[in-house]
Structure 1
Amino acid sequence: MIITVTLNAAIDRSLVVPNIRLGHRHRAVEQTTLAGGKGVNVARTLKTLGQPVIATGFAGGATGTRIVEQLTRESILNDFVRIADESRTNTAIFDPTSGVQTEVNEKGPRVDERELELFQDKLLYLARGADIVVLAGSLPRNVPETVYGDLVRELRKFGVKVYADTDGEPLRHVLRAEPDGLTPNQLEAEEIVGHEFADDTDRALAIRELLDHGVTEAVMTLQDGCVAGVRHDGGASGPVGLHLLRARIDVRETVARIGSGDAFLAGMVAARYEGRTDDEALRYAVACGADATQRLGAGLVDPRQVERLVHEVEIERIPLDD
């Protein structure tokens, strides 16, 4: 079983508005509304890929009720902690004439200590039957920035693999807790390392730095694929040692990029859940991320198209300079 955690769940509205100009009235030519937040998006993709998944986190007020009801309509198993404050609503606007995407994300609800304790108890209970837990997204108000790191340490006691996708201070804290996997995009990786990257050499060095912190698998997502690093201890999925890889796929015209990183993470987790090799997992993850850009709405993929795109992903080894 795979569990996804979304502490700052939302209702996500995606709009297509051609020739958008600030200060003017516009009409959307296409729109979609989905339950969202990074962990929810990951759960949606995992469900579509046929993987057993439960989504959990916080849900508050009428918006929280709508999130839970929508997930239930999508047949995504869920077990959220209800909170007093209202869950957030996010809006993304995509202009197809310029290719520019604009997102407006609310901060999210306030969560008190009792509600946080209830969630932690629920997650640790669910984790007893889980193989992988995904901690993803921003934190709602009043939740300490250490929470993901604390959860990683508790979950590891159960022998559960933990993948994390967040940014800022929560990312720094989760990195210190040595999760099994991290999947930052380039901007997030630059923030944690402390400088910008000029090329794949810089990216590979940054990945090595993340691995040196104790992470087993670090993957930096890019528009045309990813740079990945994996440490193996002699298990079935690869020979002993550190391996750096570059995965590429031709960049295609997109419908929207919202949630493509979440689909990538879901593909990676699904592949690891099935015990696939490094190359297979990266090809599958990149294919999921690429297919997600062809749809309006986060976490939406077509498994048949994903399988087709897998064969278009090229993998190369990055030499190690010790």
Structure 2
Amino acid sequence: MSAAVITVTLNPALDKTVTLEELQVGALNRVRASRVDPGGKGINVAKVLGNFQVSVTATGFVGGYSGRQLLEGLDELGVQHAFIQVDEETRTNLKIVDVSTSITTEINERGSLIKETNMLEFMEQMESMLEGAEVLVLGGSIPPGIPPGIYRTLTDMASHKNVKTILDADGEALAEGLQGKPYAIKPNIHELEQLVNRKLESMEAIVQACRGLLQEGIQLVVVSMGADGAIFASADEVLKTSPFSIKPKSTVGAGDSMVASMASSIIAGHDLERLARAATAAGSITASKEGTEVCSKNEVNESMSLVGIDHVDCLDE
């Protein structure tokens, strides 16, 4: 079961995506199209890495009929997995795509209660799965029953095995996880503002926030800003990417595609500019696709040159 990348989705879901001509709040809406897919940040990352021909294993917790559906979906996609079975039903999340505005509205359930026996089984499994791995991806919310410091614990475990961790979470899960000093984090601009507890209304303010995180021991900070591109900050340089023009169809999985591309670039030893171009291209391509479809490696390679790159000079005072 050895894989180069291990993705952890503690609170996965069946994602039901419905497409409407126009969302009418408080009125009858007729669905134009619908689909059900395995969902969750780590699962989405694993789907993209599978497209990139990077060996990956997805893990976390699943349960009940919806959990079986989720695993069957992963089997159909060819994603290797090692989820721990729990008693309660895996949640279902609803994503409503409004074609008229290209806006996606997400309605997420809280998630199943995870028992201590399930956690012990998961942690024992992680000890063995991390042997020989190169990157650990931790993503998404933490379900009831799991302590908020779990991402810090897993990051520490990975560090002891020389595995680099990418953390993509928000709120308390992100704040606690940072204590383990993951190799990289990928907050969006709103999650970064929440983390530093202030509005970041200029490039200088964003870079200052990134610098503070780098000083705490993070090696790479990536701040996604949707159509405004992304910031990629390391100890040596800061880059601002500008995405190429797309017709957005669904934002589901765009950030996860960036994380997958980051993991692939870290394994390949790419420099920051190539990592930034590839990650930005991956997020843009996925945002241009219907529902929960994700980018392919060929699409990313063909689009990297279209990504704008600016070197930001405000890292050093």
Q: Would you say same fold, with TM above 0.5?
A: yes
Native 8 Å contact 1:167 1:188 kept in 2: yes
Aligned equivalent of 1:266: 260
Counterpart check, 1:243 vs 2:233: no
Query: Does the CA contact (< 8 Å) of 2:42 and 2:137 recur in 1?
Result: yes
Residue equivalent to 1:8: 11
Deviation at residue 309 of structure 1 after TM alignment: 1.5
State whether structure 2 residue 285 is matched by structure 1 residue 291: yes
2:27 to 24, 29, 41: 24
Shift of residue 166, structure 1, vs aligned partner: 0.4
SS of the residue 2:29 aligns to? coil
Any idea what SS the aligned residue of 1:29 has?
strand
Q: Which residue of 2 aligns with 1:321?
A: 316
Whichever residue aligns with residue 2 of structure 1, its letter is V
Instruction: Give the corresponding residue for 1:236.
Output: none
Counterpart-to-counterpart distance in 1, 2:169 and 2:293: 17
1:63-82 residue CA offsets vs partner (Å, 9 max, x unmatched)? 11111111011110001000
Verify: 1:161 aligned to 2:164, yes or no: yes
Cα deviations by residue, 1:113-159 (Å, 9 ceiling, x for unpaired)? 11011111111110012111101110111111100011111111111
Describe how 1:170-181 pairs up with structure 2 within 5 A. 170-181=173-184
Map of 1:230 onto structure 2:
234
Question: Is residue 84 of structure 1 aligned with residue 87 of structure 2?
Answer: yes
How far apart in 2 are the matches of 1:56 and 1:86?
A: 16
Structure 1 spans left out of the alignment, 5+ residues: 232-241
Say whether the 8 Å CA contact 1:32–1:296 is kept in structure 2.
no
| Corresponding residue number in structure 2 for 1:195 | 198
What CA distance in whole angstroms lies between the structure 2 residues aligned with 1:210 and 1:259?
A: 25
Aligned length in residues: 312
Equivalent residue in structure 2 for 1:41, among 33, 44, 64: 44
Question: C-alpha root-mean-square deviation of aligned residues, in Å?
Answer: 1.2
Alignment of 1:86-125 (within 5 A): 86-125=89-128
**CA offsets, 1:164-200, max 9 Å, x none?**
1001111011111100000000010000111111121
Deviations 1:238-296 (A, max 9, x none): xxxx3211111134220011110001111111111111111111100000000001112
TM-score (norm 1): 0.94
Q: Secondary structure at 2:201's aligned position in 1?
A: coil
* TM-score (norm: length of structure 2): 0.96
Structure 2 residues without counterparts, runs of 5 or longer: none
Please list the CA deviations of residues 87-129 of structure 1 after superposition, one character each: whole Å capped at 9, or x if unmatched: 1100100111122221100000000111011111111110012
CA distance in 1, matches of 2:187, 2:293: 17
Contact 1:8 1:57 in 2 (8 A): yes
Cα deviation for residue 300 of structure 1 reads 1.2
User: Matches of 1:145 and 1:229 in 2, distance apart?
Assistant: 27
